[in-house]
Amino acid sequence: MPASPIRKLVPFAEEAKKRGIKIYHLNIGQPDIETPEIAMNAIRNTDLKVVEYSHSAGIPSYRKKLCEYYKRFNIDITPDEIIVANGGSEAILFALQTCLNPGEEIIIPEPFYANYNGFAVNSGVTVKPINSSIETGFALPPIADFEKSITPKTKAIMVCNPSNPTGYLYSKEELELLRDIVKKHDLYLMSDEVYREFCYDGKVHYSAMNLKGIEENVILLDSISKRYSACGARIGTFISKNKEVMKTAMKFAQARLSPPTFGQILAEAAIDTPKEYFDKVLNEYIARRNIVVESINKMPGCYCPKPSGAFYAVAKLPIDNSDKFCQWLLEDFNYEKQTVMLAPATGFYSTPGLGKDEVRISYVLNLESLKNSMKCLEEALKVYPGKK
């Protein structure tokens, strides 16, 4: 089981804090945005006498209301095409365990969300990575690369759109290229759309659920964690129009009994979050992104493509080893009693050796903290012993 590249440096951060060092946490996608008041009030005003198990697929009223939410994005589904999961994480596990047998393969463009590796190990599934490059801003790799990776054991392709860790937003045209190869080889297309609301510069999210001709092949994976800044509620969704897939996934859902009751109460209320909330959040993330991207691109030898979605960026730095560098920032460096915690990009690649000069940055802190963290990074790069 691989260690989380996002959390494995925590002990070093804890030691630095004991030494009185202020740490700017850009290593983890934990937004500092407040959870919508409407969602919090639903929890505060709950008058349950017994906290019961819910239906294994989730509370019926919540699934019904989810259909209204997805309708806003021209995604037409019914409550029986939804299983509420314990976060997006469990939805991904359900997808892998439902659609692939141990020893079968899934193709994922890398860098990808680090825990896909862990979920694959958990499910006995082999990840076949296809490299996307920082030079193209992490655009979809050529379809020829997908074709070359397909074997008789290949059963699925997975994408995260917009992407964690890169912030890249796949276009409708790119998704249609994937549709064609999925249709040709009769594969599943698993689409992680957790960051759907976070698209910038006038760009619009296009869901895999809207691809024509592969309705039975698409598995939609989703979560409220980032959408409503409710990571601890642990509510995700597994969605498919394929009745056989849903039937099998329900066996896994029943085996874990039910998703959390309080999380579902919060999530159901959150669907009525006013548009103004998202407008404000979007403008805040655009400002944060611009500070990070512009600051890094001004640093000598550094490059950071401008993400069009989510709240992550991958930056290329003049360093010998990102794991070593990120640990050094916590163990040996501080600038005016401050340092920055980053995620080494090595953990977001499945191919050994890739990402050694890249880091993932989560721009989830306020503007002042981001400016300070970028100053720390700039000063650190001047004195890092392994600078290239």
Q: Is 319 helix (H, G, I), strand (E, B) or coil?
A: strand
DSSP 12-64: HHHHHHHTT-EEEE-SS----SPPPHHHHHHHHT---SS-----TT--HHHHH
Asked if residues 362 and 225 have their Cβ atoms less than 8 Å apart, the reply is no
Asked if pLDDT for residue 5 goes beyond 90, the answer is: no
Q: Where would I find the H helices in the chain?
A: 10-18, 37-44, 60-71, 87-99, 115-123, 143-149, 172-185, 243-255, 261-270, 275-298, 322-331, 367-383
* φ, ψ at 155 (rounded to 5°): -125, -15
Q: What is the pLDDT of residue 293?
A: 98
User: What mean pLDDT value characterizes the chain?
Assistant: 97
Identify the DSSP state of 307. -
SS3 388: coil
Q: Which pairs count as long-range contacts for 10-19, CB under 8 Å and 24+ apart, including other chains?
A: 12/327, 12/330, 12/331, 13/330, 13/341, 15/330, 15/331, 16/330, 16/331, 16/334, 16/339
* pLDDT surpassing 80 at residue 199: yes
How distant, in Å, are the alpha carbons of 113, 141, 189 from that of 144? 23, 8, 17
Domain made up of 10-34+276-383: CATH architecture: Alpha-Beta Complex (3.90)
| Lookup: tokens for 318 | 């003049």
Token pair recorded at residue 301: 């030898």
**CA-to-CA distance for 304 and 166, rounded, in angstroms?**
10
**Residue 242: which of 196, 182, 177, 194 has the closest Cα?**
182
Give 147's pLDDT tier (boundaries 50, 70, 90). very high
> What pLDDT sits at residue 7?
78
Read off the pLDDT of residues 44-95 as tens digits, 9 standing for 90 and up.
Answer: 999 999 999 999 999 999 999 999 999 999 999 999 999 999 999 999 999 9
Q: Which two tokens stand for residue 178?
A: 């994937």
Fold of 37-270: Aspartate Aminotransferase; domain 2 (3.40.640)
Residue 229's pLDDT band, with cuts at 50, 70 and 90, is very high
The per-residue DSSP string of 192-244 comes to: E-TTTT-B-TT-----GGG-TT-TTTEEEEEESTTTTT-GGG--EEEEES-HH
- What pLDDT does 3 receive? 77
Confidence class for position 13, pLDDT limits 50, 70, 90: very high
pLDDT digits (tens, 9 = 90+) for 96-120: 999 999 999 999 999 999 999 999 9
Using an 8 Å Cβ cutoff, are 344 and 326 in contact?
yes
pLDDT at 252 over 90: yes
**pTM listed for this prediction:** 0.96
For range 254-280, the mean pLDDT: 97
Question: Within the chain, what is the greatest distance between any pair of CA atoms?
Answer: 62
Domain residue ranges of the chain, discontinuous segments joined by +: 10-34+276-383, 37-270
**H or E element, residue 105:** strand 105-110
Average pLDDT over residues 323-352: 96
For residues 3-9, average pLDDT: 79
Q: What is the DSSP letter of 358?
A: E
Residues with Cβ within 8 Å of residue 371, at least 6 apart in sequence = 291, 295
Strand partners for 360: 314, 343
Instruction: Categorize the per-residue pLDDT at 127 as very low, low, confident or very high, splitting at 50, 70 and 90.
Output: very high
The residue among 67, 54, 82, 50 whose CA lies nearest residue 259 is 54
Interval 149-175: pLDDT, tens = 999 999 999 999 999 999 999 999 999
> How far apart are the C-alpha atoms of 190 and 221, rounded to whole Å?
7
Strand partners, 362: 312
Q: Output phi, psi for 78, to 5 deg.
A: -115, 160
Which pLDDT does position 8 carry in this prediction? 82
